[in-house]
Amino acid sequence: MTEAVQKLLEREFNRYHQTDFISSDPISIPHQFSKLQDIEISAFWTAILSWGKRSSIINSANHLLDLMDRAPFDFIMNHKEADLKKIETFKHRTFQPEDSLYFIAWFRWYYTHHKSLETAFLQNQSSEKWTAETSLHHFHHYFFSLEDVPQRTKKHISDPMKGSTCKRLNMFLRWMCRSREGGVDFGLWKNIPTEALMIPLDVHVERVARKLGLLKRKQRDWTAVKELTQNLKIMDAQDPVKFDYALFGMGVMENQVFY
């Protein structure tokens, strides 16, 4: 890893890791809330909807929140059957009403037994031995542990054991676990170590990482996520995913010059 690459990424991290970043990014959705469960639900759902244009993602997430009366936790826990009729109108790309109804059912069941969604990602792992690969694999099975799971919904929650990059789930974990210093991420979950998080690998991050020599693997899959994250750890062992801001930021800018 060249010193020039590290200096570039540190500079671009400082450039994009600003509160000004929030308004145009899907993370703006959970920033509308202060209650833990509202933040978790809106952040998770928004992350899962995060493919396509950022403006479209934000619009869809806001529409969904409108359908839940801008109070997702209260809606999920206290809705009546008739209230679900309006949810059946919600669609985002391949995310269909059937998917939303299962998400609501699972969240209602889950929050009946747990205070925070963090518990779902711990799955009997200690902080010292926590790995994203194990956590996300178990979470996939845990999320679909209710009866009558729609088979089509399973494609929306990725599993690293199936080779997926799990971009959306890794982004969600970054939101929840990274320090709130800087005012962008939330730092609400304390039992998942930041140094164990994995980079959310999308086409923008991939393109820049390859240009900078940080990623050699040809496929964009879980192995590529591990390779890139390991290379980022060389530059910051305690917080490798902070460079998501730099890589993504450079990737979405047109005519970006690397030097």
Between these two residues, 65 and 124, which has the higher pLDDT value?
Answer: 65
Q: Indicate the domain borders of the chain.
A: 3-252
Tell me phi and psi for residue 92, to 5 degrees. Answer: -145, 110
Question: From the CA atom positions of the chain, what is the Rg in Å?
Answer: 18
Q: d(Cα 60, Cα 67) in Å, to the nearest integer?
A: 11
- Indicate if the pLDDT at residue 166 is higher than 70: yes
Lowest mean pLDDT among 79-83, 203-207, 230-234, 250-254: 250-254
Average pLDDT over residues 118-126: 92
Please tell me the pTM assigned to this model.
0.96
Q: Which residues are CB-neighbours of 43 under 8 A, at least 6 positions away?
A: 27, 29, 30, 172, 175, 176, 186
Amino acid at 62: N
Those residues with Cβ within 8 angstroms of residue 63's Cβ, 6 or more apart along the chain or in another chain: 90
Q: According to the model, what pLDDT value does residue 127 have?
A: 84
Average pLDDT of 114-138? 94
Residues with Cβ within 8 Å of 246's Cβ and at least 6 positions away in sequence, in order, are 8, 9, 10, 11, 12, 13, 15, 16
